[in-house]
Structure 1
Amino acid sequence: MNTRVFYDELAARYDLLYADWDASIDRQGRALDTLLTTALGRGPHTVLDSACGIGTQALGLSRLGHRVTGTDLSPVATARAAAEAAARGLDVKVAAADMRALPFPDASFDAVVCADNALPHLLTAEDVRAALAESRRVLRPGGLLLLSTRPYGELRRSRPASEAPRVRTGPDGRTITFQLWHWHEDGERYDVELFQLLPTGATWAPCTSTTTYWALSEAQTAQFVRESGFGEPVWHPASATGFHQPLLGARRPLPRPRSTE
């Protein structure tokens, strides 16, 4: 199943992945805001969330005053992101777009966020380089890329077959979400079956969606970022930022001063 179909199907129930989605919106927004302001100074900043989904990071950053645009491959997800922003009185512009071909002029943003393990949906080096090149293109000189992935260096060594279940308790009952992972022979790519059991009175209704990831190690991801023309990337562990995944930060270099000789 392709990535767009996976997120089109998941958009209506994506918030059920979280025990408390609104708390996660605030927590992730604060973590990203700290990195943004540390690197770029006090905002507000113009931020592109290039894989915004239903808006988790975009809503959090907008709530903190940043000028946020969200794009995603899934038009169903971006429509929900727009509705969630409107319901909260937030001005988040959204568009359905592929991160490998962003519909913005050069140097449009102070920062680009690509979070929640979005880049590993790209399964070839050519596609990863294309997405990173587009992020660099739409950043102003000196602008900041913030990219989060799972900690794949360790995960590729252990090759887990599943992820622990998550439970969300809501007004209709408990929703249970869990994943099965099926590793490819190359040891780097894997298919995910995402199961959700939705409460329906005394029982549950099952929903299943499937997608594929490339488990790029931290070193591989950093090397792709370097090759795409960014300055030296820095990984920020989740324990240091309060974000739920490791975050890579890298700047688009400033132009070199012209020689006066």
Structure 2
Amino acid sequence: MSTDTAGFYDDLAEHYHLIFEDWGRSVQRQAGTLGPLLENKLVRGPLKILDCACGIGTQALGLAQRGHTVVATDLSKAAVKRAAREASSLGLNIEFHVADMRDLSALPASEFDAVMAGDNSLPHLLSDEDLGRALENISARLRPGGVLLATIRDYDSLLPTRPSFQGPTFYSENETRRFVHQVWDWDGNQYDVHLYLTWNTASVWTSKHYASRYRAITRAELTQSLASHGFREIEWLMPETTTFYQPIVLARKEDNSAVKLT
């Protein structure tokens, strides 16, 4: 087990799908929500999308299946390797790279229509400086007028109570049983997540423990950071209107070329 972010996802990569009741169905469901949001916002044909926190491909795979050109990066080598394997099994042509969203300078492609940072990835950035570096790198990869889409936990509702426990959730599949739960250990506006996966195979129970740290970023804090790094038209969409499991933020990179001098 590793508590650093890259190590956390390296450890988790082969079992990440067990967090979901049906990971394949979740890939399709998320693409069915996030894809139209980007397509309607950008009002153009197949998009060029960078998923800068791709994990094992939960968003990248579904967006590629919708016909978009997808480049996917993650700081976890093991997660990228798993995502590439999943893409190959589906016959999808996705370009994968290992990269930290705070430094995307080695990425050969640029001028993306959209950049995605899903699954509460931005809160892994534990300081304003790190968040700013990530937003600067994301902005540098977007074309003028391009869109960032990110999803994070609803920290506005979590911070007042700072819950210490999430779950357990029980799943059954092919005569096997598994359950997932989390323990949250708070330290101010940061917290360590202890994720536990337990499942049985041939009557043998296996349990895994993974840990990583997050920062509880409020919507106002993220909005301010986005605005200070050249993003405009910042829009928050909540689960009660989207049915998505996390709040979604959309923000457009400022298009200075559209400013006309008089």
TM-score (norm 2): 0.95
Amino acid at match of 1:25: V
Aligned to 2:233, the other structure's residue is in SS state coil
1:119 counterpart = 2:122: yes
Report the counterpart of residue 96 of structure 1 in structure 2: 98
Report the counterpart of residue 161 of structure 1 in structure 2: 164
Q: Which runs of 5+ in 2 are unaligned?
A: none
C-alpha distance in structure 1 between counterparts of 2:125 and 2:145, whole Å: 26
Report the counterpart of residue 153 of structure 2 in structure 1: 150
Is the 8 Å Cα contact of residues 49 and 112 (structure 1) preserved in structure 2? Answer: yes
Q: Which runs of 5+ in 1 are unaligned?
A: none
C-alpha distance in structure 2 between counterparts of 1:15 and 1:258, whole Å: 49
C-alpha distance in structure 2 between counterparts of 1:106 and 1:145, whole Å: 16
Change (3 A) 1:54 1:227: same
Residues 101-147 of structure 1, C-alpha deviation per residue, up to 9 Å, x if partnerless? Answer: 11336842000000000000010110000001111110000100001
Amino acid at match of 2:98: A
C-alpha distance in structure 2 between counterparts of 1:168 and 1:68, whole Å: 31
Aligned to 2:81, the other structure's residue is in SS state helix
Amino acid at match of 1:211: S
Report the counterpart of residue 41 of structure 2 in structure 1: 39
Is the 8 Å Cα contact of residues 27 and 242 (structure 1) preserved in structure 2? Answer: no
Residues 195-230 of structure 1, C-alpha deviation per residue, up to 9 Å, x if partnerless? Answer: 010213334211001100001011111111111111
C-alpha distance in structure 2 between counterparts of 1:217 and 1:201, whole Å: 44
Higher alpha-carbon deviation: 127-136 or 239-248: 239-248
Matches within 5 A, 1:1-261: 1-102=3-104, 103-104=106-107, 107-171=110-174, 173-184=176-187, 186=188, 188-255=189-256, 256-260=258-262
Amino acid at match of 1:259: L
Q: CA deviation at 1:150?
A: 0.2
Amino acid at match of 2:149: L
Amino acid at match of 1:17: I
Q: CA deviation at 1:85?
A: 0.5
- Among the aligned pairs, what percent are the same residue? 41
C-alpha distance in structure 1 between counterparts of 2:190 and 2:46, whole Å: 38
Is the 8 Å Cα contact of residues 97 and 107 (structure 2) preserved in structure 1? Answer: no
C-alpha distance in structure 2 between counterparts of 1:172 and 1:52, whole Å: 31
C-alpha distance in structure 2 between counterparts of 1:219 and 1:20, whole Å: 33
Q: CA deviation at 1:64?
A: 0.5
Aligned to 2:192, the other structure's residue is in SS state strand
Is the 8 Å Cα contact of residues 239 and 246 (structure 2) preserved in structure 1? Answer: yes
Q: CA deviation at 1:243?
A: 2.0
Is the 8 Å Cα contact of residues 17 and 168 (structure 1) preserved in structure 2? Answer: no
Residues 172-194 of structure 1, C-alpha deviation per residue, up to 9 Å, x if partnerless? Answer: 6122111000000x2x1000110
